[in-house]
Amino acid sequence: MASSRVITHPLSRRQILKGGAALGLGSAAALGLRPSWANPWGQTNIYSKGIEVGPEVSLAIRRESIPIDGKEARPFSINGTSPGPMIRLKEGQDAVLRVTNLLDEPTSIHWHGLILPPGMDGVPGVSFPGIAPGETFTYRFPVHQNGTYWYHSHSGLQEQLGHAGPLIIDAAEREPFRYDREHVLLLTDWTFEDPMSVFRNLKTAEGYYNFQERTIADFFADVREKGLSATAEMRGMWAKMRMSSRDIADVTGSTYSYLLNGHSPEENWTALFQAGERVRLRVINGSAMSYFDLRIPGLKMTVVSADGQPVQPVPVDEFRIGVAETYDVLVTPEDDSAYTIFAEAMDRSGYARATLAPREGMAAEIPERRKIADRGMEAMGAHDMEGVEHAEMERGADGDREGMDHSTMQGMDHSNMQGMSGERSRMNANGMLAAGAAQPGSRYDQAGIGIDSGERRVLVYRDLKAFTPWPDRREPERELELHLTGNMERYMWSFDGKKFSEVTGPIRFNKNERLRLILVNDTMMEHPIHLHGMWMELENGQGELIPRKHTLNVKPGERVSALITADAEGSWAFHCHLLYHMDAGMFRVVKVA
């Protein structure tokens, strides 16, 4: 087995002791089955679904009966587990990943966030033909990066049924933090329904999974608070957008079981530590459709990495993780007690939960779930957003951009948004905003709907700051603006009002150009936008220290931008990472030539 390979690192006596401690305390599931090892910076290699250590790894994809949350289920499995095992590579290696399809349908694996040759990216129809039943495809690529990533199927809706796993790449050089122990926390949303029928339900009945719709009781409560005319007006606006103000998520806890490392809240997966240790938690949102708000009551978390890339440390109490994003956080539990890792679904319809404890079998209190947020509150100016509300209302949600009033976009420039006035004056020679400046209409100082930054310190995009400037310091030569569009009622999702099936050709990037991609969200939902093959440098106002991401969360009505160095020749997928949005048409091919 690949995982039995001995990793040769010079170990000091102290690190050997640490390794021993890890062995003595390690997850019972992993112990005895998997070796534990430590490297000079204190990594421990424990993951409850098993580990495959590179550079050569073989993966077998099956569909089999594996109980989930104690109930009968038929997920996709990778080497016999679902979600799949952790794949562990090392920066500088030449990875050889053999994927064997033991299904009766085609499959694929995409290495999310990895910079690699286009033929190795794993998107059927874009990078390669896919892996036919009975076939083995060998992915070969040099590993030029490190950090926390993940892998998943890019075929149909397979990802929904556990066809995913963590991909961890150890750094060749010292990382900008130290720690004694690490754990991977992979968040997923499992359904016992057939994903095809979930998709059909969404297409035929908007709000099918939304049992938190406003009721007549809410209406009277609103009338009491806001008066009759304001209430009626608000309801009218939402009706016009063919949405409900409680469309926080389109697939909810009414069908989903939220899992952490494949385990339900009741199963209480436990991550172990010794008091006083600094623990690195590698958090991956491998969900199909669910954003999570994660906190560990009683512990401050220090965010040290976003999407696998190191960032200057940010101490927080809670952070929101969009679908496909990853964050690494450090925690230092000082006492010998248990802590709840609480990842609440953004729409508050459920949660994933695990426990951080010095021993197996311990538990801490589970926080009360918060109430569902109401998008009406956000749009009605609860966040200094005068101007935005009108823009959002007039744009509607049907992807019809003709009716959009661009003058209201101008209006937003004067609204009270943090740090904008200074940046607006910084234009480059082409009359564009200077590299790294935040676009007017961005809300990088807000975490998003239903999360109260007054109550506790919450991570926002504005906090993310690299240690050093990324290598390409060129100003953008060109701007490319794309609108995120959709029709909730007909469950049509698209870019610029056109579904993938309706577009004639790819989005073209000129080879080696420096490009600014502007994303304007015309819908009232969050969209995690993922570009394959190239980094997106999120222009969050941090100047030359803007962070590098593979997935950008774009909030409703928001306008965000990223700089891209188009150095990866070939065809790449570009899409919303909400699985059913992608399948409904929010997908494009980017061609770099």
Q: Distance between CA atoms of 321 and 371, rounded to whole angstroms?
A: 19
Query: Which of 117, 469 has the CB closer to other proteins?
Result: 469
Q: How far is the CB of 178 from other proteins (least distance, A)?
A: 4
User: Minimum distance between the CB of residue 175 and other proteins, rounded to whole angstroms?
Assistant: 9
Give least dist CB 330 to other proteins, A: 6
Query: Please, which residue, 3 or 453, has the CB nearer to other proteins?
Result: 453
Provide, rounded to whole angstroms, the least separation between the CB of residue 332 and other proteins. Answer: 7
N residues, the chain: 593
Give the residue with the Cβ less far from other proteins, 4 or 468.
468
Binding-site ranges for other proteins (CB under 8 A): 10-12, 174, 176-179, 278, 300, 302-304, 312-315, 330, 332, 467-468
**Minimum distance of other proteins from residue 35's CB (angstroms):** 21
421-430 long-range Cβ contacts below 8 angstroms, 24+ apart: 423/541, 428/475, 428/476, 429/475, 430/475, 430/476, 430/477
Which of 349, 351, 254, 374 is CA-nearest to residue 296? 351
DSSP string, 473-506: -PPPSEEEEEEEEEETTTTEEEETTB-GGG--SP
Indicate the residue among 349 and 446 with the shorter CB distance to other proteins: 446
Separation CA 310–CA 315 (nearest Å): 14
| For other proteins, the closer CB: 457 or 498 | 457
Closest CA to 100 of 132, 56, 52: 132
SS3 call for 92: coil
Question: Which is closer to other proteins, CB of 300 or CB of 370?
Answer: 300
134 vs 176, beta carbon nearer other proteins: 176
Q: Which is nearer to other proteins, 147 or 486 (CB)?
A: 147
DSSP 556: T
Residue 320: CB minimum distance to other proteins, A: 18
Q: 277 vs 392, which CB is nearer to other proteins?
A: 277
Between 81 and 312, whose beta carbon lies closer to other proteins? 312
* CB 475 within 8 Å of CB 431: no
Provide, rounded to whole angstroms, the least separation between the CB of residue 333 and other proteins. 12
Q: At 341, phi and psi to the nearest 5?
A: -90, 115
Q: How far is the CB of 436 from other proteins (least distance, A)?
A: 16
Q: Which amino acid makes up residue 61?
A: I
Residue whose C-alpha is closest to residue 149's, from 288, 308, 287 = 308
- Positive/negative CA dihedral, 101, 103, 106, 110: negative
* Closest distance to other proteins from the beta carbon of 130 (Å): 42
Minimum CB–partner distance for residue 539 and other proteins (Å):
20
Which residue lies nearer to other proteins by CB, 298 or 313?
Answer: 313
Expressed in angstroms, the distance from the first to the final Cα of the chain is 41
Alpha helices in 355-510 (DSSP H): 375-377, 388-395, 406-413, 420-424
**Residue 12 Cβ, how far from other proteins at the closest point, in Å?**
6
Q: Which is nearer to other proteins, 257 or 540 (CB)?
A: 540
What CA–CA distances, in Å, run from 587 to 83, 87, 542? 25, 27, 29
Percent helix, strand and coil across the chain, each to the nearest 5: 15, 30, 50
The letter for the amino acid at 501 is S
Do residues 399 and 586 make contact, with C-beta atoms less than 8 angstroms apart?
no
What is the spatial distance between Cα 530 and Cα 167, in angstroms, rounded to a whole number? 17
Residue 144 φ/ψ, nearest 5 degrees: -110, 20
Only one residue has tokens 């590993």, namely 143
Residue type for 347, please?
A: D
State in angstroms the smallest separation of the CB of 448 from other proteins.
Answer: 22
Q: What is the largest CA-CA distance in the chain?
A: 73
Name the minimum Å distance from CB 294 to other proteins: 17
What is the rounded CA–CA span in Å between residue 160 and residue 83?
10
- Among residues 19 and 85, whose Cβ is nearest to other proteins? 19
